[in-house]
Amino acid sequence: MKTIDELQEEVKKVLKRRRFIHSVGVRFTAQSMAMRFGVDLEKAGYAGILHDCAKNMSDAQLLMECKKNNIKCSKTEIAKPSLLHAKLGSFYAKKIYGITDEQVLSAIRWHTTGKPSMSNLEKIIYIADYIEPGRRELPHMTEIRKMAFMDLNRTMFLILDNTLSYLNELEQDRQDAIDSYTRDAYRFYKDLAQNQL
Ligand SMILES: [Fe+2]
Ligand SMILES: [Fe+2]
């Protein structure tokens, strides 16, 4: 099993510089959050550094790679192939980078859309991807960054709420590209947030 630092050197070779710096940002943000919430630091590091390992591809390449490796694509993914870098990333993490831990693979798998009932590691990677220090200032970023170290479920709600209101502003045909997992995740974490009040 390679160390996190060794894998970091490997993804450095395949990712564009900007994407690589983002991945390092996600690694350390995820590990900091893991300290706060009692999640395994190594798993957070592996998932963080590898989460975008399939992001260096065009839409056509993503579709082709999925086909070649028998990875099923939903209608939404065919309409918006960039979503596939999560599924394919999880596949590469196992096949190319030697990750066998199912929790790490699952955190990579769900980092783009989210889903209901995520594990703490899955939530941490999803959130770290959004808040890492290199991210440009998105709406409510200060509040979300602070909440990320207080309450994971509430942070999921804040991010999904932001993401969906942004996606809902797009024209109708692009709205069809909102993944059903994202909608389900939004409903799930919205209910949780409301039941907390
Ligand atoms: Fe990603
Ligand atoms: Fe990312």
Residue 115: what are its φ and ψ, rounded to 5°?
Answer: -170, 165
Cβ contacts of 97-102, under 8 Å, gap ≥ 24: 97/2, 97/7, 97/10, 97/50, 97/53, 98/1, 98/2, 99/46, 99/50, 101/43, 101/46
pLDDT digits (tens, 9 = 90+) for 111-120: 999 999 999 9
In this prediction, residue 142 has a pLDDT band, given cuts at 50, 70 and 90, of very high
pLDDT score for 145? 98
Ligand nearest to the CA of 112: 1
d(CA 10, ligand 1 centre) in Å: 17
The residue extents of the domains of the chain are 4-138
pLDDT score for 56? 94
CATH number given to 4-138: 1.10.3210.10
pLDDT digits (tens, 9 = 90+) for 125-137: 999 999 999 999 8
Please determine, for residue 176, whether its predicted confidence score (pLDDT) is greater than 70.
no
d(CA 111, ligand 1 centre) in Å: 6
pLDDT digits (tens, 9 = 90+) for 22-40: 999 999 999 999 999 999 9
Q: What is the pTM of this model?
A: 0.95
Please determine, for residue 168, whether its predicted confidence score (pLDDT) is greater than 90.
no
d(CA 72, ligand 2 centre) in Å: 22
d(CA 84, ligand 2 centre) in Å: 13
Ligand nearest to the CA of 29: 2
Report residue 85 CA to chain centroid gap: 10
d(CA 193, ligand 1 centre) in Å: 25
Note whether 18 and 130 are within 8 A (CB). no
